[in-house]
Amino acid sequence: MQATGLGAGSLMLSQIPVFGRQVPVEALLVPGLDISIKKRLADAALNAAKSKGASYADVRIGRYLNQFIITREDKVQNISNTESYGVGVRVIVNGCWGFAAVGEAKTEAELASVAEEAVAMAKANALLSDEPVQLAPQKGFGEVSWKTPIVKNAFEIPIKEKVDLLMAVNGAALSNGASFVNSQFFLVNEQKYFASTDGSYIDQDVHRLWPSFTVTAIDPKSGKFETRDALSAPMGMGYEYLQVNPADKITGITTRYNKGYDMLEDITLAAKQAKQKLSAKSVEAGKYDLVLDPSHTWLTIHESVGHPLELDRVLGYEANFAGTSFATLDKWKSKNFNYGSKEVNFFADKTQPGSLGAVGYDDEGVKTKRWDLVKDGILTNYMGIRDQVHILGENESQGCCYADSWGSVQFQRMANVSLAPGKEKLSVEEMIKDVKRGIYIIGDSSYSIDQQRYNFQFSGQLAYEIKDGQIAGMLKDVAYQSNTQEFWNSCVKICDESDYRLGGSFFDGKGQPIQSNAVTHGSSTARFNGVNVINTGRKI
């Protein structure tokens, strides 16, 4: 699920809780602990855990850096640089997990002590368990490292340059009719050191960034307002994402972007479109053929494909909060469950360049990979971790384990899940040409789905009526409701690879206490026939 208030659909970065302490910008460029020190500390925790009876232990020494630049109109509201350092130790004792974490631990004695606390917790919990944890074997990789292949480290770009861009962006919004504008940059750098009793010592340097905005147009006379959010995607990239590159632009009714985002152009269009929305035609409820842009579809994929195929949900581990899944093991075992039409192929990929979920190794030391989830419409696999995959008859984890901080226990999270592009050449224009009565939706907005992932409702930033193969004008108050299996079986066409783009969120929420996972979903524009559209306009 997308966490409330933190979701892309209602992005208000000023509400984001800042995890960690604030630091000056230079502190973000100072390297963390030397790797030899991290190894020594990790060994202290692993040895302490083993000597207290752990049959398995892993330790994560994490340094998490964030930078937020938050503006409105002509003001910088907040520049915040945060750093959080700490250690989390996870152990298996008497067949049961235990986990403890502590901030600022930098001595071998502190590491040993946190390992002992984890052992004590596992022992207490073991009294309630009659079935020991079964961990899929994992070979140790020795000392290895991985880094997001960024071109320009966004943390190294001077604050002034970033502020100047946001001020120019806000200026463009106001001079093009916006009443208000909020814009922000959000940068992330996870420096994670993982070691386990399997013999892995893995050092990773993960980078992500998310430029975004919301423009608001107000009609004071009527008291009505409309907004339009950025069509950017959060990316596993450096500042090169902000480089304007014509090859990364998809032109049409509005410009959409691939791996280079023209923020100034997007906000100029957004300001005009937000005003246009004020007087747009309110949709007539009924069945429509939908043409969905990748900037919208990512969230539908996330909710209706990504979450139901998380193995912990399928097994019942999330029953108390996020929910379970309709995609039960018997459907998978049947090898003939039609998740979607024959056009539909979904794959999980923890290595996809530019994606938010790309890492070299997951948070329990498993090397990442790509695999199929739905092939030619048939359910073929799930996403699992080391203590689950034996249920699938596998003896190797799929590498989906993640913790959002040193202080959070790692657990099963969604990989990047994407809809494969169509195999035949097909452009968006050609797709629209064939639609008699349809709606073209761009950008993500409201989203909601049930706890087993059957019934959903989504809306977008922009909706256009399609009449007899032509775009007939802007619509408002549009939301579609469907059932996952019915919806993906109504997918009749997918544009080719040239239209394939990524979308995603930093704030995929799951677990108790809730943790955030950054995840990407790629797709090309896709057509769905006969989907139920409702009108969401209300008077109060």
Partner 1 sequence: MILSETEAKSLLQKVLKYSKADECEVNLQGEKWSNIRYALNKVSTCGSKTYKVLAVQSAFGKKVGVATIDEFDDASLEKVVRRSEELAQLAPENPEYTGLLGPQQYLPPSGFINSTASLTSVDRAKAVGQSIQVARSQKQTVAGYLEDRVGYSAMMNSKGLFAYYPSAKVNFSATIRTDNGTGSGYATQGVTDFAKLNTASATQIALQKAVGSVGAQAIEPGKYTVILEPLAAAVLLEHLFRSLDARSADEGRSFLSKAGGKSKLGEQIVDERVTIYSDPTNEDLPSSPWSADGRAQEKISWIEKGVIKNLFYSRYWAQKKGVKPVPAPTNFMMAGGTASLEELIKSTQRGILVTKFWYIRSVDPQSLLVTGLTRDGTFYIENGKIKHPVKNFRFNESPVIMLNNLETLGKVERVVSSEGSFSNYLVPAMKIREFTFTSLSDAI
Evaluate the CA torsion angle 263, 268, 271, 273 in order and state its sign: negative
Distance CA 385, CA 7 (A): 25
Radius of gyration of the chain (CA): 24
Nearer to partner 1, 71 or 196 (CB): 71
Instruction: Give least dist CB 378 to partner 1, A.
Output: 20
Nearer to partner 1, 22 or 107 (CB): 22
Instruction: Give least dist CB 417 to partner 1, A.
Output: 19
Instruction: Give least dist CB 444 to partner 1, A.
Output: 11
Q: Identify which of 407, 399, 378 has the alpha carbon closest to the alpha carbon of residue 489.
A: 378
Nearer to partner 1, 22 or 334 (CB): 22
> What is the three-state SS of 119-167?
HHHHHHHHCCCCCCCCCCCCCCCEEEEEECCCCCCHHHCCHHHHHHHHH
Distance CA 8, CA 174 (A): 22
Nearer to partner 1, 133 or 144 (CB): 133
Q: What is the residue type of 36? A: S
Pairing of strands 455-458, 447-449: antiparallel
Distance CA 475, CA 465 (A): 6
Distance CA 415, CA 65 (A): 22
Instruction: Give least dist CB 20 to partner 1, A.
Output: 8
Q: Identify which of 86, 65, 233 has the alpha carbon closest to the alpha carbon of residue 155.
A: 65
Nearer to partner 1, 141 or 480 (CB): 480
Instruction: Give least dist CB 50 to partner 1, A.
Output: 20
Q: What is the residue type of 203? A: D
Size (the chain), residues: 540
Distances (CA, A) of 123 to 59, 344, 387, 407, 457: 18, 47, 18, 20, 44
Nearer to partner 1, 146 or 454 (CB): 454
Q: What are phi and psi of 416, to 5 degrees?
A: -60, 125
Nearer to partner 1, 104 or 429 (CB): 104
Nearer to partner 1, 237 or 442 (CB): 442
Instruction: Give least dist CB 278 to partner 1, A.
Output: 11
- Numbers of helices and strands, H then E, in the chain: 9, 28
Nearer to partner 1, 9 or 443 (CB): 9
For residues 520, 526, 529, 533, the Cα torsion angle rounded to the nearest 10 degrees is 50
